[in-house]
A and B are shown apart, each in its own frame.
Chain A
Amino acid sequence: MIDSTQKITAPTKDQKNAGNDAGAISNDSHSQLYEFWQRYRRHQMAVFGTILFIILFLVALLGPFIVPEPVVDTATMFKLKNSPPSLAHPFGTNVNGLDVLGLVVYGARISLFLSVLAMLVACGVGTLVGIVSGYFGGWVDATLMRVADVFLSVPLIFVLLLASRFLVNPPPEGGTGSNGVQDASTRSLILLPLIIGLLTWPAVSRLVRSVTLSVKQQEFVTGARAMGAKNGRIMVQHILPNVINPVVVAGTLIVGQNIVLEAFLSYLGYGIQIPLRSWGTALAQSQNEFVNGNWWWAFFPGFFILLTVLAINFIGDGLRDALDPRNKR
Chain B
Amino acid sequence: MEPLLKVNNLKVAFKTDGGLVKAVNDVNFYLNEGETLGIVGESGSGKSVTSMAIMRLLPTPPAVIDSNSQVIFKGQNLLKLKDDQMRKIRGKEIAMIFQDPMTSLNPVLTIGKQITESLKLHMHLDDRAASRRAIELLKLVGIPSADKRLGDYPHQFSGGMRQRVMIAMAISCDPKLLIADEPTTALDVTIQAQILELLKRLRQELGTAIMLITHDLGVVAGMCDRIQVMYAGKIVETASAKPLYANPRMPYTIGLLNSIPRLDSEGQDRLIPIQGLPPDMITLPPGCPFEPRCAYRQPVVCQAKVPELREVEEGHRAACLFDITKETPIPEVPAPEVVATANDVRISPAG
Residue of B nearest to A227 (CB): B91
> Are the CB atoms of B92 and A20 closer together than 8 Å?
no
Chain A interface, DSSP helix/strand/loop, else mixed:
helix
> Are the CB atoms of A229 and B121 closer together than 8 Å?
yes
Number of chain A interface residues as a range: 20 to 34
Residue of A nearest to B169 (CB): A227
12 contacts between A and B (CB under 8 A): A20-B155, A24-B145, A219-B104, A223-B96, A223-B98, A223-B104, A226-B57, A226-B95, A228-B121, A233-B121, A237-B109, A237-B117
A220: shortest Cβ distance to chain B, in Å?
5
Residue of A nearest to B179 (CB): A226
> Are the CB atoms of A241 and B91 closer together than 8 Å?
no
Select the stretch in A25-33, A99-107, A173-181 that faces chain B. Answer: A25-33
How long is the Cα–Cα vector from A219 to B104 in the complex, in angstroms?
5
Residue of B nearest to A226 (CB): B96
> Are the CB atoms of B105 and A220 closer together than 8 Å?
yes
| Cβ proximity bits B84-98 to A, threshold 8 Å, 1 near / 0 not | 000111111001101
Chain A positions 198-255 with a Cβ under 8 Å from a chain B Cβ: 218-220, 222-230, 233, 237-238, 241-242
> Are the CB atoms of B108 and A241 closer together than 8 Å?
yes
| Cβ proximity bits B157-169 to A, threshold 8 Å, 1 near / 0 not | 1101100001001
User: Is A22 an interface residue when CB atoms closer than 8 A count as contact?
Assistant: yes
> Are the CB atoms of A20 and B158 closer together than 8 Å?
yes
Among B55, B99, B108, B148, the residue within 8 A (CB) of A226 is B55
> Are the CB atoms of A228 and B89 closer together than 8 Å?
yes
User: Is A328 an interface residue when CB atoms closer than 8 A count as contact?
Assistant: yes
**Which B residues touch A238, using CB under 8 A?**
106, 109
How long is the Cα–Cα vector from A328 to B144 in the complex, in angstroms?
26
> Are the CB atoms of B122 and A228 closer together than 8 Å?
yes
Residue of B nearest to A225 (CB): B57
B82: shortest Cβ distance to chain A, in Å?
13
A112: shortest Cβ distance to chain B, in Å?
29
How long is the Cα–Cα vector from A64 to B99 in the complex, in angstroms?
60
Among A23, A32, A237, A328, the residue within 8 A (CB) of B161 is A23
> Are the CB atoms of A227 and B121 closer together than 8 Å?
yes
How long is the Cα–Cα vector from A125 to B91 in the complex, in angstroms?
33
A interface residue numbers (CB < 8 A to B)? 20-26, 30, 32, 218-220, 222-230, 233, 237-238, 241-242, 325, 328
A41: shortest Cβ distance to chain B, in Å?
20
Give the total number of A-B pairs whose CB atoms are below 8 A apart.
Answer: 86
How long is the Cα–Cα vector from A30 to B107 in the complex, in angstroms?
13
**Which A residues touch B99, using CB under 8 A?**
219
User: Is B296 an interface residue when CB atoms closer than 8 A count as contact?
Assistant: no
> Are the CB atoms of A228 and B155 closer together than 8 Å?
no
**Which B residues touch A230, using CB under 8 A?**
87
**Which A residues touch B149, using CB under 8 A?**
24
| Cβ proximity bits B28-39 to A, threshold 8 Å, 1 near / 0 not | 000000000000
How long is the Cα–Cα vector from A21 to B89 in the complex, in angstroms?
36
Among A23, A222, A228, A241, the residue within 8 A (CB) of B88 is A228
**Which A residues touch B89, using CB under 8 A?**
228
A217: shortest Cβ distance to chain B, in Å?
9
Among B103, B109, B121, the residue within 8 A (CB) of A218 is B103
How long is the Cα–Cα vector from A230 to B90 in the complex, in angstroms?
11
> Are the CB atoms of A219 and B160 closer together than 8 Å?
no
User: Closest 8 CB pairs between A and B?
Assistant: A227-B91, A228-B91, A23-B158, A228-B90, A219-B104, A226-B96, A241-B108, A219-B103
User: Is B118 an interface residue when CB atoms closer than 8 A count as contact?
Assistant: yes
> Are the CB atoms of B98 and A228 closer together than 8 Å?
no
Among A26, A227, A328, the residue within 8 A (CB) of B155 is A328
> Are the CB atoms of B144 and A24 closer together than 8 Å?
yes
B91: shortest Cβ distance to chain A, in Å?
4
User: Is B151 an interface residue when CB atoms closer than 8 A count as contact?
Assistant: yes
A104: shortest Cβ distance to chain B, in Å?
40
Apart from A32-B153, A328-B155, 6 more pairs, CB < 8 Å? A20-B157, A223-B169, A226-B96, A227-B90, A227-B169, A325-B107
User: Is B66 an interface residue when CB atoms closer than 8 A count as contact?
Assistant: no
**Which A residues touch B216, using CB under 8 A?**
none
